[in-house]
Structure 1
């Protein structure tokens, strides 16, 4: 069990952090460590979507997907390692030292607020595992993950009865449960245990990491407001279970489902990218290619989580890009942003056709 958890930590924390070094130029120095981790995970999710859907449509085995995705991970790790070696002589300041310097400047009240934030976060992570329960949608989504891991097929066995069926193309275009199956195959842990026990703390922590990065953009000159912003977010989550359909309920109790990841992780990350983009436009800087790459990765990840993600990501990117081009007189950003939306357009067309 300990070895399985260590492998999951390697796949969910260390590997995304290393791969995130490919796009560190898309973010400022503050929060760089968290930004690397989150961005690296989005690059992995996007690659999984691009590899998984064609193999599902071709009715290939789950084992072939696992082999292809490990090859994708290895290629990104080699590229990230090469870039780190190239950048190493030019580094002058570590992000860890930047964090320590920021910590030393905090006032006593700020320390109390941060302590309260970490305490509530730890409470939520523990409760997400200790009080895990079977949601009604688990009858399908967790069953798909378990069947995929054990049968070596993808969307060819009916999750409700275990009988054979035709290829389920509708759900196959958003194969987030198959990603959970990959985690189970990689670690040796059952997909049900991954979904209910191992995965929720990581995804909840990633949600708060994204809100922390958003807070750095909103309150970069007044750090005392950042812990208040995060505490307010935690309170909304703690008291948001007044309906099974609230975003707070999806985040805590249903984090293992793709639509929960879409609302709690993907859309907030897109909003973070918008803040970075608009700041670059306001300061009349050249938009870095890694930022556009992250928009593409977010678009593909939205499709991985839910077919509805294609519509939501396209809509938000289109509206923000249009307003940004008008307000800052930069119509040139519309073309690359439109290209970034192509994964959503492609999967939406496939959904309508197939």
Structure 2
């Protein structure tokens, strides 16, 4: 029963809760963007941003039982956000019932009924139908298409490659020297109810280490370990890769959907190439591929394999909107939506690594310059500057400690 309980908690907290929370930021996206994958990514970003806002004040301002208080506050906020997301989802389903002539299916528990409910919440998952091409007011751009037999076979091959990676990550946990610090920080938080006040190497008291302390990914791992009842070391080495590796590939799938919008059957081949690169990228101990499969849970790995690809995806998104600006009717909130997600990515970068604040800012500046040269939209400078606000606050806090 203990194993089943742990599995249910991990699925609930690492899959269901981020999806429900993601419905909140996804509500400002145009329908074609609101797929489950985009909602899930947005939910993870918002959850990590919230954890940063809760964990850092608890760590700096509370002397005793800091971790327990942090867990209570974060748990309450996450449940509140997930409840709001669930409420929005119910509202979207009811709205769909009023608009859809086939609303009777929305009341059934058949496959079609469940499918219609999911498409009401995640309209980006809808496939293009033959009659959609005949509708002069319809916008099939960005809608999902049916893959050819070759495309389906390639997706199966990609799934097998990912399965091999997950099995290897689960059965052959890799050890490295950073375990003596990062994993122990998570273990100490659970066992001693402290947050970065004990030196992992010796077990003695220490002053606050701002370089490692402000990157609160170790505290997030400790939180998941505490609510699931799994030892933090087992969680980091064995279980978290089963969730974080697919999350990374979901991000690359969204990147591929934009790169191969005109020929989606090339998308599974793109993903196979990415998976092979990840498997054979161990040309040194410092490559992103090495960290991806052997140090999946570490902040520097998540920075390289989650945050940076997310920034590239968002700039592809912005460029795509600018390219089709005259062909689509986007509201102002739809236009700034990717920039809002970029703010959350910057906050998540600070959760992963203190260095991520600087690297993310440099990448945003470089990509903004490229878009500025291509589209001559000087408003891009202002939007990019707004995304730097979390970075500036983080940097000022870092320098003041």
TM-score by length of 2: 0.83
Question: In 2, Cα distance between the equivalents of 1:30 and 1:126?
Answer: 32
Contact 2:214 2:351 in 1 (8 A): yes
Counterpart for residue 213 of structure 1: 254
- Following superposition, the deviation at residue 74 of structure 1 comes to 2.1
Q: Report 1:1-354 matches (<5 A).
A: 1-24=3-26, 25-26=28-29, 29=32, 32-60=35-63, 61-91=66-96, 94=119, 95=122, 98=126, 105-284=146-325, 285=330, 286=332, 287-354=334-401
- Following superposition, the deviation at residue 118 of structure 1 comes to 0.5
Question: In 1, Cα distance between the equivalents of 2:371 and 2:156?
Answer: 38
Question: In 1, Cα distance between the equivalents of 2:34 and 2:278?
Answer: 23
Question: In 2, Cα distance between the equivalents of 1:27 and 1:240?
Answer: 37
308 and 160 in structure 1: CA distance in 2 versus 1, 3 angstrom threshold: same
Mean Cα deviation higher: 316-325 or 146-155:
316-325
Question: In 2, Cα distance between the equivalents of 1:194 and 1:78?
Answer: 26
Question: In 2, Cα distance between the equivalents of 1:40 and 1:162?
Answer: 36
Task: Give 1 or 2 for the bigger CA radius of gyration.
Answer: 2
- Following superposition, the deviation at residue 253 of structure 1 comes to 0.5
Question: In 2, Cα distance between the equivalents of 1:202 and 1:349?
Answer: 33
> Secondary structure of 2:32's partner?
coil
CA-to-aligned-CA distance 1:90-113 (integer Å, 9 cap, x gap): 446625863697998322221221
Q: CA RMSD in A?
A: 2.1
Contact 2:251 2:309 in 1 (8 A): yes
Mean Cα deviation higher: 121-130 or 326-335:
326-335
> Secondary structure of 1:288's partner?
helix
- Following superposition, the deviation at residue 290 of structure 1 comes to 3.2
Of structures 1 and 2, the one with the larger relative CO (CA 8 A, separation 6+) is 1
- Following superposition, the deviation at residue 163 of structure 1 comes to 1.0
CA-to-aligned-CA distance 1:275-319 (integer Å, 9 cap, x gap): 111112222354534323211110000000001110111112222
Contact 1:23 1:291 in 2 (8 A): no
CA-to-aligned-CA distance 1:115-174 (integer Å, 9 cap, x gap): 110011111011111110221111100000000111000000010111111122221111
- Following superposition, the deviation at residue 209 of structure 1 comes to 0.4
> Secondary structure of 1:299's partner?
helix
Counterpart for residue 106 of structure 2: none
Question: In 1, Cα distance between the equivalents of 2:127 and 2:292?
Answer: 28
100 and 255 in structure 1: CA distance in 2 versus 1, 3 angstrom threshold: farther
Runs of 5+ in structure 2 lacking a partner? 101-115, 130-142
> Secondary structure of 2:264's partner?
coil
Contact 2:127 2:146 in 1 (8 A): no
Question: In 1, Cα distance between the equivalents of 2:336 and 2:89?
Answer: 18
- Following superposition, the deviation at residue 326 of structure 1 comes to 4.2
Question: In 1, Cα distance between the equivalents of 2:250 and 2:196?
Answer: 33
- Following superposition, the deviation at residue 32 of structure 1 comes to 0.8
Question: In 2, Cα distance between the equivalents of 1:103 and 1:288?
Answer: 21
